[in-house]
């Protein structure tokens, strides 16, 4: 199946990140062909749902809590959470095809069945998730966009935060991890401005159920320290 909503392979919103990396190895390509369609959350893309009808909450997760990871990268944290919380359903959004392929490998190895994928931009998912349908959201090492003129591309801007707030249930947690001090600054400005309350951090002590991601390891190797922040949607 095609991983991106447009027939020509481009996403229909401006997406500045990377969609393709090096070619997939044979096992990854086979897994994408074999497993992605079954794990993909349907009714999210513009092709499947041009009217942007909200998804049916019962079909999303039944009466189980639903958690969301934004930009799961290689999927290690997402699979770790799915294994640690079998009573929860998780959705991960990630447009980077190599990351999606890595996630599929991890799902197979871990044998978890409580997660679904949106292999694309999380904003597509925000369009169709019902109000208050998500019980927890994770944003781990979002793209830093270091140049000031690119700061408006960061996830922590109203374009992303206001829809996120709408889909989060009252009282739910929004966790942010980043290694970039200026990202901490913008997070502390923008996330409360979008209607969230800071309840913990910034701190260098991770959550008890945290699993270091690829980007965290890379940051540590480069001498950059992690910062963890926890917000609540009032
Ligand atoms: C720096 S990487 C971090 C990946 C992973 N969370 C980790 O900690 O290793 C940021 C990821 O966010 C993804 N991303 C960026 N914008 C996104 C969006 N609008 N929707 C979903 N994912 C997005 C990128 O494709 C990239 O894989």
Low-confidence ranges of the chain (pLDDT < 70): 1-12
Which residues does ligand 1 sit against, CB inside 6 Å? Answer: 17, 70-73, 93-96, 99, 121-123, 140-143, 213-216
Pocket test for ligand 1, best of 142, 154, 164, 226 (most atoms within 8 A of CB): 142
**Residue 196 pLDDT:** 98
Atom of ligand 1 nearest to the CA of 123: 19
Alpha helices in the chain (DSSP H): 26-39, 57-61, 76-84, 97-110, 122-128, 158-167, 181-193, 214-221
Catalytic pick among 56, 131, 143, 182 = 143
∠ CA 196-163-9, nearest 5°, is 140
Query: How is residue 72 written in tokens?
Result: 């799961």
Query: What does 119-168 look like in DSSP terms, one character per residue?
Result: -S-HHHHHHHSPTT-EEEEEEES-----SGGGGGGSSSSHHHHHHHHHHE
Cis (ω within 30 of 0) for the bond into 202?
Answer: yes
Q: Note if 124 is an active site residue.
A: no
Q: Ligand 1 center to residue 17 CA distance, Å?
A: 8
**Residue 55 pLDDT:** 95
**Residue 67 pLDDT:** 98
**Residue 2 pLDDT:** 42
**Residue 20 pLDDT:** 78
What is the value of pTM for the model shown? Answer: 0.93
**Residue 85 pLDDT:** 98
**Residue 8 pLDDT:** 45
Nearest to 172 by CA among 200, 228, 134: 134
24 burial (CB, 10 Å; 0-12 / 13-18 / 19+) is: middle
**Residue 7 pLDDT:** 46
Pocket test for ligand 1, best of 3, 11, 17, 127 (most atoms within 8 A of CB): 17
Q: Ligand 1 center to residue 21 CA distance, Å?
A: 13
Nearest to 36 by CA among 104, 106, 84: 104
């Amino acid at each position: 199946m095609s991983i991106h909503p447009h027939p020509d392979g481009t996403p229909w919103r401006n997406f500045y990140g990377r969609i393709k990396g090096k070619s997939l190895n044979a096992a990854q390509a086979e897994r994408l062909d074999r497993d992605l369609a079954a794990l993909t959350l349907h009714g999210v893309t513009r092709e499947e749902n041009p009217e942007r009808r909200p998804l049916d909450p019962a079909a999303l997760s039944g009466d189980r809590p639903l958690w969301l990871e934004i930009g799961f990268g290689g999927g290690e944290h997402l699979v770790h959470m799915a294994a640690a919380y079998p009573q929860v359903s998780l959705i991960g959004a990630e447009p980077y095809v190599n990351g999606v392929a890595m996630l599929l490998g991890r799902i197979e190895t871990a044998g978890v069945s409580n997660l679904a994928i949106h292999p694309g931009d999380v904003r597509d998912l925000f369009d169709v998730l019902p109000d208050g349908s998500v019980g927890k959201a994770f944003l781990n090492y979002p793209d830093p966009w270091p140049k000031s003129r690119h700061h408006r591309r960061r996830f922590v801007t109203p374009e992303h935060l206001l829809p996120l707030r709408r889909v989060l249930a009252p009282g739910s947690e929004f966790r942010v991890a980043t290694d970039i001090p200026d990202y901490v600054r913008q997070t502390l400005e923008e996330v409360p401005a979008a209607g969230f309350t800071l309840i913990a951090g910034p701190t260098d002590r991770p959550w008890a159920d945290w699993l270091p991601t690829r980007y965290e390891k890379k940051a540590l190797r480069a001498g950059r320290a992690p910062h963890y922040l926890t917000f609540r949607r009032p």
